[in-house]
Structure 1
């Protein structure tokens, strides 16, 4: 019985054998992936979440790895010429390298989870900024090493020659990417100096907002009106940064103005009322007592200066307390008959009769 031949010496039976290996390996890899995912979600691992992350990370490259194995054993039954066989061997080596790199790339998630779990227990959020950078760095290293291995397979040159070539090429890239390198070292300066942490409010370069992310190249700041500002780390490291999130208190300066026709005893009463309101107020510490003084004669009013400090620096609580102070001051001044001053101007106009008219505006 004659055997049908296609593509030279490759038979249909061999092609079906290859397809069977590939499809079977893919199905087996998919089933193993589903099994690993289900194991990662098992209740017995709820107290050890890192096990679930490990199973999930390990399961991602499994279908591709089994596809590579299926191709390897499926192609084993085919007979190629020496030149074609070398190409097929190189292609398989590249696929296997990619599969292994994919596996290591996925397992970086386990390291990232461990680092994140540890940094959450520390009081500072600077460690939280390091976790994503470590993850990105490890993945970049894995990709570079994988590409170097692929280059070695395709070029059939020793890895030392490839690394030497990368060194020469890296010098050219470094000259062309000076800003990127500047931003990278700027990020290192930020991590060393620690001028802010994630979630803290800062003002820099005319922007006021909270830190959302610090990367190798840039820092992302969410402004108070909702805009996302991205600032290069090279420039940010050289700017003056005001860290509002690290202030120990919120200071309020009040200028209370009363009318010029207020008699001295009423001015003293106004001082006493304001001192009584601020005495031992909410958010006060003994080291920061409130200060109230009749400090100035302004153009249209007598000025009472009041300064107090609110602890801790919770902004919305501070505003609620400031509202209470204002309402209490308004109520007690009205009860005492003390009038608040408003901007006025007195004009003296000589009339035709020679008398003087007093006009207030």
Structure 2
């Protein structure tokens, strides 16, 4: 007979009954998961994507929940000693804690979706980093609380004593992780102060590039050479940051040098040509008119100082305009016979006649 074949006090029938509970519960859990996912994809929820996220998040732990339930009720058909029963009870306490943690951990996706939906409506891109940081923070807290609960179940100690022990251990960890804590608070300072946003170009610590990511510990900067630089937030928060991405214009200061033998009329003509080229130039703002001055006598040239501002600060458009200005200036000066100066030296040699008197020997 089937029931006469046994392993100790457990018969084949009891084992098959246990497997039936486990497999049946898993199949039922998978079926409920598929039903919930299908409900979230129905047309009536197309305009509410958060509903689909909620259904998916809620359905994710269900197979594991039903597996735990099936295992629990399947084992109730078996007979164990009191010591084994206590161990099984503790194990199921841990399993149900994991199930609850899994549910809460998954539902964080709903909060993440809501925060992402709000941050997409803001103008600043810095807020876009808030959603993943909040998601990670919540999940870390959930896991820590779950571990505390599991420690209480396994140790049979009150939660207050466990928290007190964690406080002592946390102090030791805090002393050993001072840099990590410093970087964490540095990231909070960056998010509060917002010295830059994602995608903006900055100069900091000798590096020049665009911001790719801001995390709890570090910020990633993609340099103009294509290199990825990771900077700890604790140090970044204390450094001087030059935000090139927030400049309202590009200012150009150029020194046009002409030769010293240029007569005053030609100097004035050189100034007039520059003023003519820059009058109502591309990218000009009426509040920032160009400036041209004969401002200095250099060692080897007469210096014409040129200052103008290009709006908006689109770098490649600015370079195209600078290229056009340089070419036109070279052409106009050549036509006008105005010579550009370059470093030269003139040597004056004083020839002295030396008379030799030859005497008799």
SS of 2:348's equivalent in the other structure is strand
Instruction: Name 1:255's counterpart in structure 2.
Output: 255
Is 1:317 the counterpart of 2:317? The answer is: yes
Alpha-carbon distance between aligned partners in 2 of 1:279 and 1:104, rounded to the nearest angstrom: 65
Instruction: Name 2:359's counterpart in structure 1.
Output: none
Give 1:141 shift. 0.7
SS of 1:3's equivalent in the other structure is helix
Alpha-carbon distance between aligned partners in 2 of 1:122 and 1:2, rounded to the nearest angstrom: 69
Alignment of 1:1-361 (within 5 A): 3-349=3-349
Alpha-carbon distance between aligned partners in 1 of 2:336 and 2:46, rounded to the nearest angstrom: 66
Give 1:314 shift. 1.9
Give 1:286 shift. 2.0
Give 1:350 shift. 5.3
Give 1:353 shift. 8.7
Q: Are the aligned partners of 2:186 and 2:234 in contact in 1 as well (CA < 8 Å)?
A: yes
Give 1:302 shift. 2.1
Q: Are the aligned partners of 2:5 and 2:11 in contact in 1 as well (CA < 8 Å)?
A: yes
CA deviations 1:268-300 (Å, max 9, x no partner) are: 111111111111222222221111111222233
CA deviations 1:286-324 (Å, max 9, x no partner) are: 221111111222233222110011122222222222222
Shift in CA distance, 333/38, structure 1 to aligned 2, threshold 3 Å? farther
Give 1:137 shift. 0.8
Shift in CA distance, 180/73, structure 1 to aligned 2, threshold 3 Å? same
Shift in CA distance, 76/297, structure 1 to aligned 2, threshold 3 Å? same
Alpha-carbon distance between aligned partners in 2 of 1:133 and 1:298, rounded to the nearest angstrom: 57
SS of 1:255's equivalent in the other structure is strand
SS of 1:347's equivalent in the other structure is coil
Alpha-carbon distance between aligned partners in 2 of 1:31 and 1:347, rounded to the nearest angstrom: 98
Moved more, 304-313 or 43-52: 43-52
CA deviations 1:63-103 (Å, max 9, x no partner) are: 22221122112212111111111111111111111111111
Instruction: Name 1:358's counterpart in structure 2.
Output: none
Give 1:258 shift. 2.1
Q: Are the aligned partners of 2:300 and 2:342 in contact in 1 as well (CA < 8 Å)?
A: yes
CA deviations 1:84-141 (Å, max 9, x no partner) are: 1111111111111111111111111110111111011112223223222211110111
Instruction: Name 2:357's counterpart in structure 1.
Output: none
TM-score of the superposed pair, with normalisation by structure 1 = 0.91
Structure 1 vs Structure 2 CA RMSD? 2.1
TM-score of the superposed pair, with normalisation by structure 2 = 0.91
Give 1:349 shift. 4.2
Shift in CA distance, 277/44, structure 1 to aligned 2, threshold 3 Å? farther
Name stretches of at least 5 consecutive residues in structure 1 with no aligned partner: 355-361
Select the structure of larger CA radius of gyration. 2
Name stretches of at least 5 consecutive residues in structure 2 with no aligned partner: 355-361
Give 1:148 shift. 0.9
Q: Are the aligned partners of 2:3 and 2:13 in contact in 1 as well (CA < 8 Å)?
A: no
